[in-house]
Amino acid sequence: MKDFFSKLLTGMSIGIVVALIPNALLGEILKLLIPHFPALQHVFDITVFVMSLLPVMIGVMVGVNFKLSPIQTASVGIASIVGSGAVVKTADGLFALSGIGIVINTGLTAALTVLFVQFIGNRFKTYSILLMPTLSILLPGMVGYLLLPFVRESTGLLGTAIEHITTLQPVVMGAAIAVIFVLIMLSPISTVGVATVIMLSGIGSGAANLGLVATGVGFAIASYKANNLGTALAHVIGSPKIQMRNFFMKPKIAFPMLITAAILGALAGVLNIQGTPYSAGFGLSGLVGPLNYINLAEGGWTPQNIAIMLSTFFILPIILNLGLIYIFSRKLKMIKAEDYKLDFD
């Protein structure tokens, strides 16, 4: 079970990052350029479309990670999108991609499909190409589809709990929400999904975003020695979810990031750092968080606001994570660089 769970989470992590990085890298830059170069709207639209292919990417990457055959891997991919909820039927009878779906249900459907194709094995022989994709949709795919409302409701309950936390005193609320969003980021649940469902805004959104900044920067610093610069930067530019498997295997690797997040979240309450429901689910990815803070701050691009933005979104996350990683690795001997190793081979 541990090996199965590890392979599943690794495949999900890779699929998530591959699907989200194009928009994370280009999204905010394209928004600034589109008014001057309208033709770039097509590029932006494509990056958004690619995000909606996340369920297929998860299924395919999970299949690859389990070393399934091409037909089996493709079957996991199509079953995953069936159970994701990313495809909706409009009133006109057309099918449309709607966001990235419910990531945790996508992973659950992918897991069921892997078990199904492994159970079937080579029983279909030369008929595999005919039967495997179809049965993967009809059995594990439809089970995932039927589970979708219940999983969506569970995610909604999580959002409701977070909504109650927003009624606390700002500093306490900021610290609590930042820590919660770190844990959500390191799980198969979508931070963007939770934030948008409850329309998390204001200081709550700013704190959530700073929690994700702490996560991305912290994992980038901690994982650099075990991986490489490109993979380290992927935690910040893309998503810290690529550490999901390592976190579930060894939760203690996130201790420095959780403490950093709590401090930054509290500062969001002190300094009135705000955001939108959209920016809450991002860290430094696409500079969504910092730019939204400046846009919402009184006075906009004033020297004071720029100083606060640089301090809370860039300088403090680096300093705090460096110090805490040093303490937990060198002094307490609780973590080591190898704990953050990612295997994408």
Residue count of the chain, please give it.
Answer: 345
User: 151: which 2 tokens?
Assistant: 């999983």
So what's the pLDDT on residue 345? 58
Q: Report whether pLDDT(288) > 90.
A: no
User: 135: which 2 tokens?
Assistant: 């049965």
57, 96, 122, 205, 343 from 69: Cα distances, Å: 16, 29, 10, 43, 20
109-124: pLDDT as tens digits = 999 999 999 999 888 8
CA–CA distance, 215 with 211 (Å, rounded to integer): 6
Place of tokens 């700013």: 206
Strands 95-97 and 87-89, how do they pair?
antiparallel
Cβ-contact 166, 177 below 8 angstroms: yes
22-67: pLDDT as tens digits = 887 788 788 889 999 999 999 999 998 998 899 999 999 999 999 9
Give the distance, in angstroms, between the CA of residue 162 and the centroid of all CA atoms in the same chain.
Answer: 18
CA–CA distance, 171 with 266 (Å, rounded to integer): 4
Give the up-direction half-sphere exposure of residue 235: CA atoms within 13 A in the CB hemisphere. 27
User: 173: which 2 tokens?
Assistant: 């609320």
So what's the pLDDT on residue 257? 98
- What average pLDDT does range 301-310 have in this prediction? 95
**pTM higher than the cut 0.75:** yes
So what's the pLDDT on residue 193? 78
**3 state DSSP class of 96:** strand
CA–CA distance, 80 with 51 (Å, rounded to integer): 15
Least Cα distance to 257 among 215, 292, 220 occurs for 215
User: 337: which 2 tokens?
Assistant: 């660089």
Cβ-contact 115, 107 below 8 angstroms: no
Q: Which long-range contacts (CB under 8 A, 24 or more apart) does 305-308 make?
A: 308/271, 308/273
Q: In the chain, what percentage of residues exceed pLDDT 70?
A: 99
- What average pLDDT does range 295-316 have in this prediction? 94
Average pLDDT, the chain: 91
Q: Report whether pLDDT(18) > 90.
A: no
Least Cα distance to 273 among 213, 219, 197, 321 occurs for 213
The CA-based angle 112-115-117, given to 5 degrees, is 110
Enter the DSSP assignment of 141.
I
Least Cα distance to 221 among 300, 324, 121, 104 occurs for 324
Cβ-contact 292, 311 below 8 angstroms: no
128-166: pLDDT as tens digits = 888 999 999 999 999 999 999 998 888 778 888 888 898
209-261: pLDDT as tens digits = 999 999 999 999 999 999 988 889 989 988 899 999 999 999 999 999 999 99
